[in-house]
Amino acid sequence: MANLDAPDSPLGGTDEAVDGEITALNKLLDDAERIVVFTGAGISAESGIATYRGAGGMWTKYDPDKYASIEYFRKDPSYYWSFFKEERHVMMVKAVPSASHRAVADLEKQDRLSAVITQNIDGLHHKAGSTRVLELHGNTTRFYCTDCRAPYSIEDVAKIIETQLPVLCTKCKGVVRPDVVLYGEMLPTDVIDEAHRETQLCDLMIVIGSSLVVYPAANLPYQAKLSGAKLVIINIDTTPLDSVANLNIHRSAGEVFPQAVALLE
Ligand code: NAD
Ligand code: ZN
């Protein structure tokens, strides 16, 4: 394991333990013919975007049950827009893909990856160069008017939030909303159908940084396993699916995943 230069894990463990996990992950990647990566907020924690749950998830000022709920959005859209202005806007515009996002894109370039299924709404897989991205929960860099459906970019809303909350449509004064799936809304059927298809066809699913508690998305890794795929879970914490995974790596993704992919070439 020369040249890996793996540091001691901040979570404990030795260089050899990290190296062993990287080797095991590399072997599973190398043996697979059809890989699907399933990502959650943890992969973007390394790009500075806070998670909802787990270490570093710190939602004290704004309540996800309010800003991420369609019921609450209809009642008081200003709550979402204040959260977006104060907590999310600059973070989303400035965030750059992490080494793990880039490694997922590398797997696609090497023709090993058939899709990345993501619960994230930050667009960082696209920014990293991935093209086969299934965004289960939409994308918070796109917006549209709830009345006339006029589209708005993040740059458009950035100008409006300077002077006005909530953001209202410049054409019809309807409320503008993010193109994301809020709590209480259905997942887009075409995306979830495609995600199920990829899940059934893959022979290896790697889950990176998902608490695996948000349904129905969290069903997919279990489905992959039931369909005969191997399952790897990379998370600094435990998840409800650890007991069925072929390999659990309890470390930050950036410590192991980019290294395991780099060894493929
Ligand atoms: P989550 O916030 O519920 O869980 C994140 C998980 O990542 C936790 O289990 C945590 O232990 C783990 N984690 C944190 N840092 C990690 C790291 N460096 N390496 C590996 N694991 C790490 O996220 P979720 O499971 O994706 O589901 C929550 C919902 O929140 C999703 O619907 C998603 O749309 C939304 N969300 C998205 C973003 C984003 O787009 N970046 C951010 C926050 C929440
Ligand atoms: Zn409108």
| 30 plus 133 within the same structural domain | yes
Q: Do 89 and 217 sit in the same domain of this protein? A: no
Is residue 13 located within the same domain as residue 116? yes
Domain boundary among 180, 206, 237: 180
Write out the chain's pLDDT in tens, 265 residues.
Answer: 333 333 444 445 578 889 999 999 999 999 999 999 999 999 999 998 877 765 554 456 778 888 899 999 999 999 999 989 887 777 777 889 999 999 999 999 999 999 999 999 999 999 999 999 999 999 998 999 999 999 999 999 999 999 999 999 999 999 999 999 999 999 999 999 999 999 999 999 999 999 999 888 889 999 999 999 999 999 999 999 999 999 999 999 999 999 999 999 7
- Is the minimum distance from the CB of 210 to ligand 1 under 6 angstroms? yes
Listed residue (66, 97, 96, 90) closest to 157, CA to CA: 90
Q: Distance between alpha carbon 66 and the CA centroid of its chain, in Å?
A: 21
The CATH number of whichever domain residue 55 belongs to comes to 3.30.1600.10
Shared domain check, 209 and 158 = no
Tell me the residue range of the domain where 159 lies. 50-94+141-180
Residue 110 makes CB contacts below 8 A (sequence gap 6+) with 264, 265
Check 89, 137, 196, 250 and give the catalytic one: 137
Catalytic residue flag (residue 137): yes
Q: What is the pLDDT of residue 144?
A: 98
| Span from the CA of 231 to the centroid of ligand 1 (angstroms) | 18
Ligand nearest to the CA of 176: 2
Instruction: State whether 112 and 77 are in the same domain.
Output: no
55 and 110, same domain (yes or no): no
Ligand 1 centroid distance, CA of 170 (Å): 34
Q: What is the DSSP string of 173-234?
A: -PBEEEEE--BTSPPPHHHHHHHHHHHHH-SEEEEES--S-STTTTHHHHHHHHTT-EEEEE
45 lines ligand 1 (CB under 6 A): yes
215 lies in the same domain as 237: yes
Q: Which ligand is nearest to the CA of 177?
A: 2
CA–centroid distance, residue 6 to ligand 1 (Å)? 24
* Residue from 11, 38, 52 whose mutation best tests the ligand 1 pocket (most atoms within 8 A of CB): 52
90 with 2, same domain: the answer is: no
Are 163 and 257 within one domain? no
Q: 154, 180, 206: which is the final residue of a domain?
A: 180
Total domains, the chain: 2
